[in-house]
Amino acid sequence: MKKFLQDLEVELRKNNLSEEEIADIITDHREMIDTAIREGLSDDELEKKFGNPKEVAEELSQFSDKKDKGRESKKMKTKEFTGIAENYNVTIGLVSEDIVFKHSDEDKILVEYVGKKDLDEYEVEYKDNEFVLKTPKGMRYEDSWFGNNHRLFTITLPSNRKINKFSLKQINGDTVISDIVAETFEMSTKNGDTKFANFKLDTFKINTVNGDTSIENCECAMLSISQISGDLELRNSKIKHDLDINSVSGDLEFENVDCITLRLKTVSGDLDGKEFYPEVVYLTSVSGDITIKNTDSTKPIQVKEKRTVSGDVDIRY
């Protein structure tokens, strides 16, 4: 069993643990192994009970003090970037973190993080007029499957700066974002839910799988939505040109929305509109319907194309 301790020490060093941690862990293991030997466990039994030093070391390294950071190192939870250009880009790519955006009059981007990780474990920087926040590939979360695994980023953006391209990729995390003026906004998410409010954009692209989306108060030239089974709510918004929607089974609920051309391609998702005024409608569906209930009959809706198996377009005043 002496070999187990030696191997463990080697593995702990490989994982870059601080000397104090290593000494402590080795002492604990020596004590446990001594007890086991005194109880008369055979070598086989010992091996079964103590398992694989590499595995313990890797497990331990996830929450232990590391050499270079020192024992007293406190986890970094906020970062600040100043000197933000008049026009800049934002690129976000997260996996299991929620994100909320705020605004301030100060000329800086402030990143605040709540969670068990160190902010330095993320890719976060402002460089070449671009703000980037990304979860590095293969990040390991030491989550228990229940209990508190909350991870939240709060990003404060300068409200007196313009954004050219805003790209936001999420996998599981939820997003709350408001008051954005940008040329292009592209959002994609798998399971995360998203809330948008007060947007002024040229091009707005949304791509979701299961996540639900809600958009409130949005003004843009083009909005294109692609969703599998997530639902989407769009309220009090004005799309100056085209509204393109691809949905498999996700439903859409629109209220107080204007646009010129609506193109809806759907398998079984329905679109329910109230005070929804597209000028021209194209529908391609298997069983998906478009139902619109409006009050202003001076704004006619022309159904240019309807290709559907059992779906229908129903417009009432």
Which spans of this chain sit near other proteins (rule: CB under 8 A)? Answer: 25, 27-29, 31-32, 34-36, 38, 48-52, 55-56, 59-60, 63-64, 142-147
Q: In angstroms, how far is CA 137 from the centroid of its own chain?
A: 14
28/123 with CB nearer other proteins: 28
Asked if 113 contacts 133 with a C-beta cutoff of 8 angstroms, the reply is: no
CB of 32 to other proteins, least distance (A): 4
29/151 with CB nearer other proteins: 29
CB of 123 to other proteins, least distance (A): 24
Nearest to 316 by CA among 288, 291, 299: 291
CB of 103 to other proteins, least distance (A): 34
CB of 174 to other proteins, least distance (A): 20
Residues 6+ apart with CB under 8 A from 95: 135, 139, 171, 172, 173
Tokens of 194: 């998203």
25/111 with CB nearer other proteins: 25
The DSSP symbol for 267 reads: S
Residues 6+ apart with CB under 8 A from 109: 80, 81, 84, 126, 131, 155, 156, 157, 158
CB of 147 to other proteins, least distance (A): 6
CB of 158 to other proteins, least distance (A): 36
- How many CB atoms sit inside 10 A of residue 33's CB? 18
Asked if 103 contacts 142 with a C-beta cutoff of 8 angstroms, the reply is: no
36/176 with CB nearer other proteins: 36
Asked if 191 contacts 210 with a C-beta cutoff of 8 angstroms, the reply is: yes
CB of 36 to other proteins, least distance (A): 6
- How many CB atoms sit inside 10 A of residue 2's CB? 8
41/100 with CB nearer other proteins: 41
56/257 with CB nearer other proteins: 56
6/35 with CB nearer other proteins: 35
Asked if 291 contacts 272 with a C-beta cutoff of 8 angstroms, the reply is: yes
Q: What is the distance between the alpha carbons of residues 193 and 158, in angstroms, rounded to a whole number? A: 25
